[in-house]
Amino acid sequence: MAVTIKDIARLANVSHTTVSRALNNSPLINDKTKNRIKQMADELNYTPNVNAKGLVTLRSYNIGLFFSTLSTGTSANFFYDVVRGVNMVIKDQYNLVVKSIDEFESNYNRISARQYDGIIVMSQTRADRVLIEHAISVGIPVVLLNRAAGDLNVGNILSDDLKGAYQLVDYILNCGHRQVGIIEGREGFQSTIQRKNGYIEALKDHGIEPNPELCIQGRYDVGSGYEAMRQLLKGKIRPSAVFCSNDDMAVGAIKAVIEADLQVPQDISIAGFDDNVFAAYLSPELTTVKRPIELISREGAAMIMRMIDHKLKSGKEHAKIPIEHITIESELVIRKSIAIFTPITATRKVGE
């Protein structure tokens, strides 16, 4: 049997109330007894019973980190950065509970405010909405990462994928490319749509009509990038550059190009998205868009902690939580996987 505050109380000849107060640093307790009790607790290796504590304080000390899916569509580097970022911030104040939303089979009843003090949703798809609404309805603070919250009353941190993709494709076009293809992400994901839209807008702004034959669906994994590129190579029109919706697919695409006895970027240029750890070490080094995933995750963790604190302070009832929305800029990373046909400076107007 583990030691409880009652055990300490008995040994210290005080009531368990005093022990409880002492260990929680209550100002009601004399400093002398407080220190004495703290020391005893230390010596006895006292560990508070989280269950008993949570039962009365209505807290669980769990923070949920929910991904839309943990199978296809979530790249390993992405996942790793997210968990690391969140973990870095919450430290040992909370337990980090990792879940995959697609496992719930739309039975969200088990998700209660008593089980999670807060939930961070790394959201890829609108289908997550049901879960988020459930969490809100039972009074759990929610932070949504990676896609726009829309009318949902949750904290929100996102990177501007559309803008990132736009800048990248704009750069590709400024390099003189005209037939630019795209390997899209997993169907239904918001990021897939955003990046495609950035691609389309950039093309249009350069007076080019997007060609459906140059748009191939992928799934964000290496294999799908490879398959998609092979498909592109079989097509009537050969693109001179291909924008892969993430770096993983870019690896697969490069492989397909090389297998076809062509060279990157001389014959076909390739760009990615994310700037994962491998991007700089591929051959050729990958031109891509840096999406600060770890930063987003850290910010998300900090935000959920603010929201939890606020909820605690403002009376234990369903309080209005001040909602914050933060957008984190992505950044074009120019390396060597895009061939330059036109001196770029020439196509840019000064000041733009």
Partner DNA sequence: ACAGTTTATGCACACGTGAACAATTATTAT
Partner DNA sequence: ATAATAATTGTTCACGTGTGCATAAACTGT
Residues making contact with a second copy (CB under 8 A): 2, 45-47, 49-52, 54-55, 60, 62, 70-71, 74, 76-77, 79-81, 83-84, 87, 91-92, 95-100, 103-104, 109-110, 112-115, 138, 221-223, 226, 248, 251-252, 254-255, 258, 276-278, 281-283
| Position among 24, 39, 137, 153 found at the interface with DNA (CB under 7 A) | 24
Residue found under tokens 């760009």: 271
Place of tokens 């004399």: 30
Question: What kind and span of H or E run contains 168?
Answer: helix 161-174
C-alpha to C-alpha distance for 120 and 298, rounded to whole angstroms: 11
Site string for DNA, 57-96 (x = CB under 7 A): x---------------------------------------
Closer to DNA by Cβ: residue 29 or 175: 29
DSSP letter (8 states) at residue 349: P
Question: Within 10 A of 137 (CB to CB), how many other CB atoms are there?
Answer: 11
By CB under 7 A, what part of segment 165-204 binds DNA? none
Supply the minimum distance, in Å, between the C-beta of residue 21 and DNA: 6
Counting contacts by CB under 7 A, is residue 53 touching DNA? Answer: yes
Q: Pick what 18 binds: a second copy, DNA, none; C-beta below 5 to 8 Å, kind-dependent.
A: DNA
Bridge-based pairing state of the strands 142-145 and 95-100: unpaired
Could you give the CA distance from residue 120 to residue 221 in angstroms, rounded to a whole number? 24
State whether residue 269 is helix, strand or coil.
strand
Select from 11, 38, 44, 48 the one that contacts DNA (CB under 7 A).
48
CA angle 151, 157, 162 (to 5 degrees): 85
First to last CA, the chain: 70
319 binds, among DNA, a second copy, none (CB under 5 to 8 A by kind): none
Per CB under 7 A, 312 contacts DNA: no
Residues touching DNA: how many (CB under 7 A)? 27
- CA distance linking residue 163 with residue 201, whole number of Å: 10
Residues forming the site for DNA (CB under 7 A) = 1-2, 4-6, 13-18, 20-21, 23-24, 28-31, 33, 48-49, 52-53, 55-57
